[in-house]
Amino acid sequence: MKIAVLGGDGFCGWPTSLHLSDAGHEVHIIDNLSRRWIDTELGVQSLTPMDSIQERCRIWKRETGRSIRFHLLDLAGEYQRLKQWLEAEKPDAIIHFAEQRAAPYSMKSDRHKVYTVNNNVNATHNLLTAMVETGIDAHLVHLGTMGVYGYSSVGAPIPEGYLDVEIDTPDGKKGQEILYPTRPGSVYHMTKSLDQILFQFYAQNDGLRITDLHQGIVWGTHTDQTRRDPQLINRFDYDGDYGTVLNRFLIQAAIGYPLTVHGTGGQTRAFIHIQDSVRCIELALGDAPAAGERVKIFNQMTETHRVRDLAEMVAGLTGAKIAWLPNPRKEAAENDLIVKNDQFMALGLNPTTLEAGLLDEVVEVARKFAHRIDRSRVPAVSAWTRELAAEVEADP
């Protein structure tokens, strides 16, 4: 297949591009490199040294003989160029990673809220309308988030996107299938909830074939392909805005920084290893909905964990201390989470589960590049409200 990977320079997009290229597909990366600019804005850098995207593609070609082409294009701001590109290249599939994906970054200030909404909603809508206008018949696979559900399973497992409800009508009860109600916990997660409505409309109105992957928190760094050469290494975020919880605990342990647990650490979240994430995308590509079918929604996660249990596991493994900090986020102190992921299991996913050996691997990466860590960038300082900001400032 000819596959466009939008956001292919990012943490999930790069290993996915390599995985699909390795499997023999013709891969085109489209990215505006905004994530690299945000590193500059925040004064942070990936833990792992990242080459330019052009250099990464050159090394991949040298290692494998396979080409990955890179196109510098802003999905949210260059609609005409996007349309021309789709018309000229007519990809068979499009994988859409190209959004601002950090919840804390989206809550930093009003400017960051506006940027996140403009970037994410316009990127998704521009893509959908350009697909309709050009008439290309590509399968769109979007990376969404478990966060659209709001992390509470009210005792019953969260289904894969849809809920059957019964509505009282004058003629008695009628059954209806609805999108599972969204309950986003940040402006970033809110944009993913809006994306869902855009997908529903374009699938129903124009027959676009769309798969939305509600992904949990991705951890780890290596995949089979990124291991092939030091210059193919994946990016690894550790800072207070972009670093995700388990990856942050692992680098904190590696540099002797107390593990930054927010509040009681009572939040339960869904997780998936980066190797499984790229595999799921490949499985979803092979299971496209037909034109006119509803949006196919998968829960892309393999296990759930409570944040304090993760901290205790990492502390037990490495001897790290735990710091119990005021929570900068407006979120429940404790939640339970049970999630269905039957569809990927039925397609043959064999999950990589969290175990000491794998955690060790990330700690090794962290130790190797520890000299690149700026400890002052580890604390999470973006707060959800002014009141929470004052609490975090009083006890950073």
Which residues are near ligand USQ by CB under 6 A? 101-103, 145-147, 216-217, 244-245, 248, 260-262, 265, 267, 269-270, 307, 327, 329, 331, 380
| Residue 124 is a catalytic residue | no
Identify whether the C-beta of residue 344 lies closer than 8 Å to the C-beta of residue 296.
no
Of 52 and 164, nearer to ligand NAD (C-beta) is 52
Alpha-carbon span 41 to 32, nearest angstrom? 15
Q: Which of residues 45-84 bind ligand NAD (CB under 6 A)?
A: 74-76
Which one of ligand USQ, ligand NAD, none interacts with residue 331, CB within 5 to 8 A by kind? ligand USQ
Identify whether the C-beta of residue 77 lies closer than 8 Å to the C-beta of residue 125.
no
Smallest distance, ligand USQ to C-beta of residue 240, A: 7
Q: Does 35 bind ligand NAD (CB under 6 A)?
A: yes
| Residue 192 is a catalytic residue | yes
Alpha-carbon span 162 to 377, nearest angstrom? 39
Binding test (CB under 6 A) with ligand NAD, winner from 101, 125, 222, 248? 101
Minimal CB distance to ligand USQ: which residue?
147
Smallest distance, ligand NAD to C-beta of residue 326, A: 23
Identify whether the C-beta of residue 8 lies closer than 8 Å to the C-beta of residue 20.
no
Tell me how long the chain is: 396
Identify whether the C-beta of residue 75 lies closer than 8 Å to the C-beta of residue 123.
yes
Which one of ligand USQ, ligand NAD, none interacts with residue 363, CB within 5 to 8 A by kind? none
Active site residue: 188, 202, 242, 257, which one? Answer: 188
Instruction: Indicate the residue type of 47.
Output: L
Q: Does 123 bind ligand NAD (CB under 6 A)?
A: yes
Active site residue: 48, 124, 134, 145, which one? Answer: 145
Smallest distance, ligand NAD to C-beta of residue 213, A: 8
Binding test (CB under 6 A) with ligand NAD, winner from 5, 12, 47, 198? 12
Report, in this order, helix, strand and coil percent for the chain, each rounded to 5: 40, 20, 40
Q: Does 10 bind ligand NAD (CB under 6 A)?
A: yes
Identify whether the C-beta of residue 335 lies closer than 8 Å to the C-beta of residue 294.
no
Alpha-carbon span 189 to 196, nearest angstrom? 11
Instruction: Mark residue 301 as left, alpha or beta (left: phi above 0; alpha: psi -120 to 50; beta: remaining).
Output: beta
- Following DSSP, what letter does each residue of 182-244 receive, concatenated? P--SSHHHHHHHHHHHHHHHHHHHH--EEEEEEE-EEE----TTGGG-GGGPPP---STTT--
Smallest distance, ligand NAD to C-beta of residue 237, A: 7
Q: Does 265 bind ligand NAD (CB under 6 A)?
A: no
Smallest distance, ligand NAD to C-beta of residue 195, A: 9
| E strand spans, 256-370 | 259-262, 268-273, 296-300, 303-306, 322-325
Smallest distance, ligand NAD to C-beta of residue 332, A: 20
Token pair of 337, please? 């989470």
Of 217 and 389, nearer to ligand USQ (C-beta) is 217
Residues assigned a catalytic role = 145, 188, 192
The site for ligand NAD (CB under 6 A) is made up of 7, 9-13, 31-35, 74-76, 97-101, 119, 123, 143, 145, 215, 217-218, 244
